[in-house]
Amino acid sequence: MAKKIVEERVDTNNDEVLIEARELSYQKLNELVRHYLSEGRQKIVLKNVNGQRYIGSGLDNQAQITIIGTPGNDLAAFSDGVEIEVLGNVQDGTGNTMNDGQLIIAGNAGDVLGYSMRGGEIYLEGDAGYRAGIHMKGFKDKIPEIIIGGNTGDFLGEYMAGGLLIVLGINRDQGDSIIGNYTGVGMHGGVMYVREKVDPKKTGPAVKIESLDIEDQNILEDRVKKFCRYFNHDFATIMAADFCKITPASNRPYGSMYVH
């Protein structure tokens, strides 16, 4: 039975393993991934992934995993160093409490992308759902980063305490905003760069909307170059648009609620 389900191909040059995931439960698929990593394999390709949850969750090595298909919720949750490339869309909770590593996603993402993320990088080519970057925070010397190529839903960066969020909106319709409402609600740390002049009605009084300075520009250009390299977009076209910076107006956004 196992031979019908699991296709194994080991390349002695690249030390690569191929797993056919179509008929595997999420438990079995994750068991196989961990098995091959324990053998010292450094490259794993998962074919025909179709909603299996928790892929890459809790992994703390430097392996590379390529996913062809659509992984389920909590992809790379609590991960600490693994590099995952997804050739497809991802569902909710991707990068949940991620501590280190890299996610490169050639598709769209569901809700709560990078929830409580405290390190590592997420590069998303397409759109993100609601509450991307909620509760992002720095952890010791780690600074989490999320770069979103498309648009986002409401509550972007909600309660954000640290890290970096970039929204490029490269496929937006004419006249549409690339972020939703309630952006930065409760934000008290970190920074966002958004590729449009943000209407203050989208954010409320808890944040400041400013122009970029030279340091901001350098940070942005570095990340956009990586984005373009990953997804084959034109750097000059993206950077030709106006960006703004969103930062918290206070490190205690709700302090006045507790003052008599």
Using a pLDDT cut of 90, give the percent of the chain over it.
Answer: 81
Specify the 3-state DSSP secondary structure of 19.
strand
Distance from chain centroid for Cα 68: 17
Alpha-carbon distance values, 205 to 167, 188, 208 (Å): 20, 12, 8
**Interior angle at CA 122, CA 82 and CA 104, nearest 5:** 70
- The residue count for the chain: 260
Type of residue found at 19: I
Average pLDDT, the chain: 91
pLDDT tens-digit series, residues 69-93: 999 999 999 999 999 999 999 999 9
pTM summary value: 0.92
Report the alpha-carbon distance of residue 216 to residue 51 in Å, rounded: 38
Q: How many CA atoms lie within 13 A of 232 on its CB side?
A: 1
Within 10 Å of residue 48's Cβ, how many Cβ atoms?
14
What confidence score (pLDDT) does residue 6 get?
A: 53
* Range 233-246 average pLDDT: 96
- Beta bridge partner(s), residue 103: 84, 122
Residue 97 pLDDT class (50, 70, 90 cuts): very high
pLDDT grade for 5, boundaries at 50, 70 and 90: very low
Q: pLDDT tens digits, residue range 118-138?
A: 999 999 999 999 999 999 998
Bridge partners of residue 210, in order along the sequence = 245
Pick the CATH number of 108-251 from 2.70.70.10, 3.40.50.1100, 3.50.50.60, 2.160.20.60: 2.160.20.60
pLDDT tens readout for residues 174-223 = 778 999 999 999 999 999 999 999 999 999 788 999 999 999 999 999 99
User: Could you state, in order of their start, the residue ranges of all structural domains in the chain?
Assistant: 108-251
Q: Show the tokens assigned to 190.
A: 């970190």
